[in-house]
Structure 1
Amino acid sequence: MKSIMTRIGGASWRASSSHTGQIQTALVGRSERLRSSEDIAADLRRKLADIPGITIRTRAGQGLFILRIGSSGGDEVEVEIRGHDLETADALSQEVLKVVEETGGISDAKVSRESGRPEEVVIIDREKAADMKLTVSDIANALQTIISGTQAGYFRELGDEFVILVKISEAEKMNLRDILDLTLTNSDGELVVLRNVVEINPRSGPVQIDRKDQERVVTISGNISGRDMGSVLGEIGEKLRSMPTPKGFSIRLGGDYEEQQKAFSELLLSCILALVLVYMVMACQYES
């Protein structure tokens, strides 16, 4: 081993979560060691697999580094699921993840979308609100004032400008039950308890929603060990073609495969343009 570099928070050219880190090692020349980088990565994967509380992924350095700089994950195998509905995408991603994990030669398979965090969705009952002479905007504005505050104006002094924010004192210490016990004043000046006009729907919300080409996308990625990329992608592609896809969703291969296809297309176009240019030069030279 020649050197070690540690990075917290992901790579410098793309955003990443603060709870992630990366350790990158530079090995001595191949002639100075007995094992290949793939063998060393596989050995590290076995030794680090049983550390509790963390998920560790190891991979050997590969080519196409420049092509990976702008990509989302940098893994050799990436399967993209595109579609709008979050629950359907999560269910489909687990099926695709199982297909990728069962493919020989795949290691460190993962889903890009992290598990959702719990949240409480406030649903306004429009009929009850109308019966109690409250509008949806009245309730929404009251909730905004309670939770995050409402901008009431500006205070200017000696050329400085300050925002005046109106909110409930110590609102951050209130729990959901305390908030629902608060009252609103309707158009007749009567007090209405907030819980009488809203419903609470607990659910898990996504930590992050990724988009590509203006579509929501979930990526299942992994690394290749012990097999060539062509055979692995061919096997995965064959399995995915037999998988039923919900309406409004699509499944496609990405990662290095996508970059290679783009590179080959550009190379083919360059060759065609070169042939046309040579033909034009020869036609001008020989006037025929």
Structure 2
Amino acid sequence: MGGATSIKVEVYGYSFDNTDLVARQLQSGMLKDPAFTQVTLSRDEYTPEFQMNFDRTKLALNGLTSTTAATAFSAAMSGSVASYYREDGDEYKIRVRYAPEFRTSVEDLENILVTNAAGQQIRMKDLGEVVETLVPPTIERKDRERLITVTGIVAQGAALSDAVAAANKVISETQMPTGISTVIAGDYEDQQDMFSDLLVLIVLMIIL
């Protein structure tokens, strides 16, 4: 795709759900137009993550604090530094955590053990609920606003103006939730900037 002309529709908004929804609708609509050969999104897929929601009453009954239990849960998932290894002046952390096969499902995590002050080992499932959530990818920002970019590669033989018109048509047919806005950028934005600079130059030449 090197050198291919493209336009970008920047979808601005705070809500990941709403910007994802609008971006995918724009992608679907643009793909149906012959002015584009490919339409991609800048945002990666959401990734699954496990979280532990502790019950304060259950923690108290088992002689534990939320900090102690959360530390044990985090250590099992992400590991804790058990020691350090030094070689040739460099220091390396030795991190210990559960093997992958013991931390891949909700059931695995429910059976993580934490030891209370009395030496009793308590399972996480007796302290609260393990839930699986979807974590959004890296947040993309421009001018301090969150956005997701829909990039359309202009088909060979199609003019940039045709692609812009097609994108604007799709945008006009897409229902925008409150707080969501769009801006057409990419090669079109560069072209508009060039025309603007050229106009200023012509005006200056006339004045001088």
TM-score normalised by L of structure 1:
0.58
Match of 2:188 in 1: 257
Output the aligned Cα RMSD. Answer: 3.2
Match of 2:53 in 1: 124
Match of 1:200 in 2: 130
CA contact (8 A) 2:42 2:149 kept: yes
Match of 1:8 in 2: none
Pick the aligned partner of 2:65 from 120, 135, 138: 135
For 1:110-121, list aligned pairs within 5 A: 110-117=40-47, 119-121=48-50
Pick the aligned partner of 1:174 from 98, 102, 116: 102
> Using the alignment, how far apart are the partners of 1:266 and 1:205 within structure 2?
43
CA contact (8 A) 2:82 2:96 kept: no
Deviations along 1:211-255, one digit per CA (max 9) or x if unpaired, are 333333222222223432213312421441353212232212121
Closer/same/farther in 2, CA of residues 190 and 60 from structure 1, 3 Å limit: closer
For 1:56-67, list aligned pairs within 5 A: 61=3
Q: Secondary structure at the match of 2:153?
A: strand
Pick the aligned partner of 1:233 from 164, 172, 176: 164
Closer/same/farther in 2, CA of residues 166 and 235 from structure 1, 3 Å limit: closer
Give unmatched runs, 5+ long, in structure 1: 1-58, 63-74, 279-288
- Number of residue pairs aligned between Structure 1 and Structure 2: 204
TM-score normalised by L of structure 2:
0.76
Closer/same/farther in 2, CA of residues 189 and 101 from structure 1, 3 Å limit: same
Deviations along 1:78-133, one digit per CA (max 9) or x if unpaired, are 2121223322222222211122123342222233334334x232132243334534
Equivalent AA in structure 1 for residue 147 of structure 2: V
Deviations along 1:177-227, one digit per CA (max 9) or x if unpaired, are 344313212355543211222423334445554333333322222222343
Residue 96 (1) aligns with residue 26 (2): yes
Residue 247 (1) aligns with residue 140 (2): no
User: What is the identity percentage for the equivalent residue pairs of Structure 1 and Structure 2?
Assistant: 25
Deviations along 1:21-42, one digit per CA (max 9) or x if unpaired, are xxxxxxxxxxxxxxxxxxxxxx
Match of 2:13 in 1: 83
Closer/same/farther in 2, CA of residues 263 and 140 from structure 1, 3 Å limit: farther
> Using the alignment, how far apart are the partners of 2:131 and 2:45 within structure 1?
18
Richer in strand (by share): 2
Equivalent AA in structure 1 for residue 149 of structure 2: T
> Using the alignment, how far apart are the partners of 2:17 and 2:197 within structure 1?
37
> Using the alignment, how far apart are the partners of 1:218 and 1:212 within structure 2?
10
Closer/same/farther in 2, CA of residues 146 and 61 from structure 1, 3 Å limit: closer
Higher relative contact order (CA 8 A, sep 6+): 2
CA contact (8 A) 2:22 2:174 kept: no
> Using the alignment, how far apart are the partners of 2:2 and 2:118 within structure 1?
71
Equivalent AA in structure 1 for residue 102 of structure 2: M
CA contact (8 A) 2:30 2:170 kept: no
